[in-house]
Chains A and B, each alone.
Chain A
Amino acid sequence: MHSRLINWFKFSSPATFYPLAGRLVPWFTWGAVLLLGVGLYLSFFVAPTDYKQGEGYRIIFIHVPAAWMSMFLYLVMAGWAAIGLVFNTRLSAMMTSSLAPTGAMFAFLALWTGAFWGKPMWGTWWVWDARLTSELILLFLYIGFIALKSSIDDPRRGDRAGAILILVGVINIPIIYYSVQWWNTLHQGSTIKMSGETSMDEVMLITMLIMTFGCWSYAFATALSRVRCIILERERGTTWVQELIEKEEGRGA
Chain B
Amino acid sequence: MIKTLWTVVQRDLTLALRNRSDLISNLFFFIIVVSLFPLGIGPELETLRLIAPGVVWVAALLASMLALERIFASDFDDGSLEQLLLTPQPLPLLVVGKILAHWLVTGVPLVMISPILGIQYDLSSDVLWILVVTLLLGTPALSLIGAIGAALTLGLRGGGVLNALLVMPLTIPVLIFGAGAVEASASGLGGEGHLYMMAAILVVSLVFAPLAAAAALRISVE
Q: Do chains A and B touch in the complex (CB under 8 A)?
A: yes
A contacts, CB < 8 Å to B: 137, 140-141, 143-144, 147-148, 151-152, 156-157, 160-161, 164-165, 167-169, 171-172, 175-176, 178-180, 182-183, 186
Instruction: Give every chain A residue within 8 A of B216 (Cβ-Cβ).
Output: 161, 164
Contact of B152 among A137, A148, A183 (CB under 8 A): A148
Q: Are A151 and B162 in contact (CB under 8 A)?
A: yes
Shortest A247–chain B CB gap in Å is 36
Q: Are A183 and B165 in contact (CB under 8 A)?
A: no
Q: Are A152 and B156 in contact (CB under 8 A)?
A: yes
Would you call B201 an interface residue if the criterion is a C-beta within 8 Å of the partner chain's C-beta atoms? yes
- Give 27 A-B contacts (CB < 8 Å), ordered by A residue: A140-B169, A144-B165, A144-B166, A147-B162, A147-B166, A148-B152, A148-B162, A148-B166, A151-B153, A157-B222, A160-B219, A161-B152, A161-B219, A161-B220, A164-B212, A164-B216, A165-B166, A168-B170, A168-B208, A169-B169, A176-B169, A176-B172, A179-B172, A179-B173, A179-B197, A183-B180, A186-B180
CA distance A205 to B158 in the complex (A): 47
Instruction: Give every chain B residue within 8 A of A167 (Cβ-Cβ).
Output: 212
Question: Closest 7 A-B residue pairs measured CB to CB?
Answer: A179-B173, A140-B169, A144-B166, A183-B176, A160-B219, A179-B176, A161-B152
Contact of B170 among A157, A160, A172 (CB under 8 A): A172
Instruction: Give every chain A residue within 8 A of B215 (Cβ-Cβ).
Output: 164
Interface centre among B156, B162, B219 (most CB of A within 10 A): B219
Considering only residues 117-172 of chain B, those with a C-beta below 8 Å from chain A are 148, 152-153, 156-158, 162, 165-166, 168-170, 172
CA distance A86 to B76 in the complex (A): 26
Given the interface pairs A164-B219, A176-B169, the reply to whether A148 lies near B208 with Cβ below 8 Å is no
Instruction: Give every chain B residue within 8 A of A186 (Cβ-Cβ).
Output: 180, 184
Contact of A141 among B169, B184, B208, B222 (CB under 8 A): B169
Main secondary structure of the interface of A (DSSP, over half): helix
Chain B interface residue count, Cβ-Cβ cutoff 8 angstroms: 28
Q: Are A137 and B162 in contact (CB under 8 A)?
A: no
Instruction: Give every chain A residue within 8 A of B212 (Cβ-Cβ).
Output: 164, 167-168
Q: Are A179 and B166 in contact (CB under 8 A)?
A: no
Considering only residues 191-222 of chain B, those with a C-beta below 8 Å from chain A are 197, 201, 204, 208, 212, 215-216, 219-220, 222
Q: Which residue of B lies closest to A183 (CB)?
A: B176
Contact of A175 among B148, B162, B168, B173 (CB under 8 A): B173
Main secondary structure of the interface of B (DSSP, over half): helix
Would you call B177 an interface residue if the criterion is a C-beta within 8 Å of the partner chain's C-beta atoms? yes
Instruction: Give every chain B residue within 8 A of A180 (Cβ-Cβ).
Output: 172, 176
CA distance A175 to B197 in the complex (A): 10
CA distance A147 to B184 in the complex (A): 36
Q: Are A140 and B152 in contact (CB under 8 A)?
A: no
CA distance A3 to B220 in the complex (A): 27
Shortest A147–chain B CB gap in Å is 6
Instruction: Give every chain A residue within 8 A of B162 (Cβ-Cβ).
Output: 147-148, 151
CA distance A74 to B162 in the complex (A): 20
Interface centre among B166, B204, B208 (most CB of A within 10 A): B166
Instruction: Give every chain A residue within 8 A of B158 (Cβ-Cβ).
Output: 151
Q: Knowing that A147-B165, A148-B166 touch, tell me 19 more A-B residue pairs with CB under 8 angstroms.
A: A148-B153, A148-B162, A151-B156, A151-B157, A151-B158, A157-B219, A157-B222, A160-B219, A161-B152, A161-B216, A161-B220, A164-B212, A165-B166, A168-B148, A168-B212, A176-B170, A176-B172, A179-B177, A186-B180
Instruction: Give every chain B residue within 8 A of A179 (Cβ-Cβ).
Output: 172-173, 176-177, 197
Interface centre among B156, B162, B172 (most CB of A within 10 A): B172
Instruction: Give every chain B residue within 8 A of A151 (Cβ-Cβ).
Output: 153, 156-158, 162
Instruction: Give every chain A residue within 8 A of B180 (Cβ-Cβ).
Output: 182-183, 186
Instruction: Give every chain A residue within 8 A of B197 (Cβ-Cβ).
Output: 179, 182
Q: Which residue of B lies closest to A144 (CB)?
A: B166
Instruction: Give every chain A residue within 8 A of B169 (Cβ-Cβ).
Output: 137, 140-141, 144, 169, 172, 176
CA distance A162 to B148 in the complex (A): 12
